[in-house]
Amino acid sequence: MHAHPDDESINNGATMARYAAEGALVTLVTCTLGERGEVIPPELGHLTGAALGAYRRQELAAAMGELGVADFRLLGGAGRYQDSGMTGLADNDDPDCFWQAGLDAAAAHLVAVIREVRPQVLVTYDDNGGYGHPDHIQAHRVAMRARELAADPAVRPDLGAPWEIARTYWNRVPRSVAEAAFARLDGELPGLPFEKAADVDDVPGVVDDERITVRIEGGPAHAAAKAAAMRAHATQIEVAEPYFALSNQLAQPLFTTEYYELVRGEGAGADTEGASTDLFAGIGIGEEGEEGEEGEEGEEGAGAR
Task: Check if the beta carbon of residue 82 is closer than 8 Å to that of residue 138.
Answer: no
For every residue of 58-80, DSSP letters joined together read: HHHHHHHHHHT--EEEETTSTTS
* Beta-strand relationship, 71-74 and 238-240: unpaired
Residues 6+ apart with CB under 8 A from 154: none
Helices (H), the chain: 7-21, 49-67, 103-117, 134-150, 175-188, 219-232
Instruction: Name the amino acid, one letter, at 83.
Output: D
Cβ of 88: how many Cβ atoms within 10 Å?
Answer: 8
d(CA 175, CA 190): 24
Distance CA 66, CA 48 (A): 25
The CA-CA-CA angle for residues 65, 71, 77, to 5°, reads 110
Q: Which amino acid is at 16?
A: M
Q: Do residues 172 and 127 lie in contact, with contact meaning Cβ atoms separated by under 8 Å?
A: no
Q: Please state the residue numbers annotated as binding site.
A: 4, 7, 136
Q: Which residues are annotated as a binding site for Zn(2+)?
A: 4, 7, 136
C-alpha span between 152 and 147 (Å, rounded): 9
| CA angle, residues 246, 217, 289, in degrees to nearest 5 | 100
Q: Are 259 and 253 in contact (CB under 8 A)?
A: no
